[in-house]
Amino acid sequence: MPFRFIRALAGAAALTFAAQAGAQATDWPQHPVRIVVPFQAGSATDLISRQLGAALSTELGQPFVIEARPGAAAAIGSASVARSAADGYTLLMGGPAAIVTNRFLQKRLAYDPDAFELVSLVAYTPNILLANPQQPFKTLPEMIAYARANPGKLTYASFGTGTTSHMAGEMLKSVAGIDILHVPYKGAGEAIPALLSGQVSMYFDTIMTGLPQVKSGTLLALGMSNSQRSALAPDIPTIAEQGYAGYDIAPWYGLVAPQGTPAPILDKLNRAVNKVLADPALRGKLAEAGAEPRGGSREEFAAFIKTEIPRTKRLIDQAGISPQ
């Protein structure tokens, strides 16, 4: 068979495939879409997913059903999505654990974090560095000075080893040159009582559960962990603006799909996510969950992940955490 004829057949096949993919995106979705949440119902990931899913249902004309598949630090739900058909009808609300951290913490990870198709960043939830008012400091500079004068004396709680809350403390230790001891808890339900009782000195908490404690005067806010002041708490300065430029770490949430999901579907979903995130109604509902919308292109999401992986590895190595 002449090479020219073979090449023509290959070209025709490629055009046919492209046309089919384009038609698939035009028709998608034709039935309900599932968003898997790899954490418990009622978690921040769950609440954000439900608000986004409701908005996407209206925008795209099909139900977006939220399914909680918790366990193993997001690994169970993530693996289930990785094994799903790459047809746009199963998505994962990913985050630091699923996409970045688990590769360094779990020896036998049942999925490849790099194999997902990235759709869009959705939101982030700023962390607040909280302190017990009985501590001998009231501000971040005072805390840093005290920690330097008393190495190893101060402690900070997190909502689990390897979580963003833990990594925020490790980053602060690095940039400020201080020695503070990490004490992991299972969540705010354990960490805040420990902070109030004086069992720990500080706690990196999400804004959703931490801000009410600050507004009531029960706890002090030393700084926000993200690079810009939060619209939810504009009076609380960032750690970055208090002398630690570049300090920026917070839990984030982003939609991903199984490897091989057609690009036209991913692009259509990205456009839909960005459109609904611009809606004041959804932005208000996300704010109620302590979240701030993010959005952006698929390429921007990929660039973000590319910077998160080596940064997270440095912090995990610094903390001396070994994979289990």
Number of domains composing the chain: 2
Q: What is the mean pLDDT of residues 42-52?
A: 92
Measured between alpha carbons, how far is 249 from 274 in angstroms, rounded to an integer? Answer: 22
Give pLDDT, residue 14: 45
φ/ψ of 221, rounded to 5, equals: -105, 115
Model pLDDT for residues 67-86, shown as the tens digit of each residue:
999 988 899 999 999 999 99
pLDDT-based confidence at residue 261 (cuts at 50, 70, 90) = very high
314 by DSSP, 3-state: which?
helix
100 and 198: one domain?
no
Cis peptide, bond prior to residue 126, ω within 30 of zero: no
Measured between alpha carbons, how far is 154 from 56 in angstroms, rounded to an integer? Answer: 45
pLDDT-based confidence at residue 238 (cuts at 50, 70, 90) = very high
225 and 143: one domain?
yes
- Domain end, chosen from 242, 267, 289, is at 242
Beta carbons of 166 and 160 less than 8 angstroms apart = yes
136 and 222: one domain?
yes
Residue 8 predicted with pLDDT over 80: no
Give pLDDT, residue 17: 47
Rounded percentage of the chain residues whose pLDDT exceeds 90 = 80
179 and 238: one domain?
yes
140 and 234: one domain?
yes
Radius of gyration over every alpha carbon of the chain, rounded to an integer in angstroms: 22
214 and 285: one domain?
no
Residue 288 predicted with pLDDT over 70: yes
Domain that holds residue 291: 32-123+251-319
- Give residue for tokens 């439900």: 50
Model pLDDT for residues 113-170, shown as the tens digit of each residue:
999 999 999 999 999 999 999 999 999 999 999 999 999 999 999 988 888 999 999 9
Give pLDDT, residue 162: 86
Question: Is residue 18 domain-resident?
Answer: no
- Domain end, chosen from 218, 242, 266, is at 242
Strand order in 90-94's β-sheet?
Answer: 64-68, 33-37, 90-94, 252-257, 117-124, 292-293
Question: Is residue 71 domain-resident?
Answer: yes
Residue 46 predicted with pLDDT over 80: yes
Model pLDDT for residues 185-199, shown as the tens digit of each residue:
887 889 999 999 999
Q: Is the dihedral of CA 151, 152, 153, 156 positive or negative?
A: positive
Neighbours of 248 (CB within 10 A): 17
Give pLDDT, residue 302: 98
Question: Is residue 139 domain-resident?
Answer: yes
Question: Is residue 3 domain-resident?
Answer: no
